[in-house]
Structure 1
Amino acid sequence: MTTLFSALDWRAMSQEARDLGLNNGVAVPGSVDMAAGWEQRSAEVRKRFPDQLDLRYGPRERNRIDFLKAGEEAPTLLFIHGGYWQARAKEVFTIFAEGPMAHDINVALIGYTLAPEATLDEIVGEIHAGIDFLAAQLPALGAAPGGIVVSGWSAGGHLTAMALSHPKVKAGLAISGIFDLEPIRHSYLNEKLRADEATSRRNSPVMQEGGPLKPLSLVVGSAELPLLRKQTADFAGHRARYGLPVTYEEIPDANHFTIMYEMMSPRGRITTLIRQLFDRTTG
């Protein structure tokens, strides 16, 4: 029997149950090998698009953007990687540019400083600085001017929601994101994140009154951990209550890792949603 989201309360869970309820690596056997395969395939994609890699947008080592050009005057998607703000890198995810690029959409992938070397506030600030840089560079890169669409997976889904307020961002698509940081703050993940209550509330989109009046698509896998599915459902409800443009859907049978294949494929559901966001915001 499926547990109703309304019955899920992380506060009532034991520490062990809460930690396991947020641990995607344990929940998805083989996820380490899966991500290693992504990184290998991403290296091959990077070899095909060597001209605009590691464009520096800030002073720190990971303040770099890879820009993969699909065509002249094409629109641009910015992708933000996941890893609970403390792991992984943009180079793991290049392979997922293939879906959007098949439809003449440029894909930029942004790196950012990881916790504990950076706080949540600093990470959000780096994403905004990267958007400043990328938007200014679009004409020189041969891309269409006029704003970008942002997407991200897991922690990148959270950063997508936080980036929606940037004036150069016109829409977003958050994949399996985190939108309430309070359960994160009370889990094993906060050992490196080191967020206090004020930081958590300041950076939790679901705790804000209202939000940016821009289209946001929210997706999560039906086979993901219930606490994480609830994060996306709750945030969709939050935006709907404030009359903000939002769509919500669960990808059937997808877990936290296999959901990304819906972006890798030109015919994948996430690729389709990205195309729809560009259609809604172009012109």
Structure 2
Amino acid sequence: MKRIYIFCSLLLTLLFSSCKDYDDSAIQDKLNDFKERIAALQEKADKLNEEVSKLSYLTGGNVITSVTQNSDGQYIITYKDSNNEEKAVVVATREDVIEIPVLGVRLDDKDQLYYWTTTIGSETDWLKDNAGKKVPVCGYTPEMGVNADGYWTVDGEILKDNQGNPITATTDETSIFKNITKTKDGYLEITLGNGEKFTLEVFNSLNLKLKSDAVTSVSDPSQPLKIEYEVTGASAENAIVAIAQAVNVKATLDKETRTLTVTFENGFDEGHVIVTAYDLHHLVIRPLLFKKN
């Protein structure tokens, strides 16, 4: 028994000595480097989220009234929203984008609405919700992030490539906006980081104000929804207001009372109406989305 006691004492002494002498600085350095990398990536995600928000402003049916450039080379884009309130966003662009951004927008030729897209590698596809449907820009802005393992996330979900592998975020520079130019015809041409381009009109003589949110929750589809509208600007008197499209809903305009009436059929889940105001030179497009509450 005495021998066993001596042996245990020697073993404990060796263990405590080993723990005391062990240098864990290398592991701590790696942990600190990893934490710093995640923090840097999260800061990058925050900047991208700012740009995504600006992109949603520009493609959400707002009327761009002016485009100027400040001393830092950034573009100041002034626009009027659906409430006819004038606002401005500052857009920073980069001529050379090292890493392709994972979010963008694209106009759907079928319904003429902008939808969010994701770019993975060299392929761009629609951003889908949990039901597998495209996500419209109007009224919704996805949130980018980086999880604790250093992978890109969109709305908290890990973004994966075509093979189902999570996409690793890097500290390379990236930008939603690559370039902004003004065409000879006075249009604003925006080139996204993935190379896609879209064109927006710049004018301030006409605007269409709809007294409704861009996305409206419908609690009782059996009741029609009445939305007042107003046409403003120097060309307002000669402008024509019309319904360009109504999907999964019925819509009528009363031009005397300046009211849009939307009715919902049985089994309604979601739909949209596109209202336009136009004259010979200008066209304002206002999309309205409706979802069953």
Higher relative contact order (CA 8 A, sep 6+): 1
- Looking at secondary structure, tell me which structure has more helix per residue: 1
After TM superposition, the score normalised by the length of structure 1 is 0.25
Structure whose residues are more often strand by fraction: 2
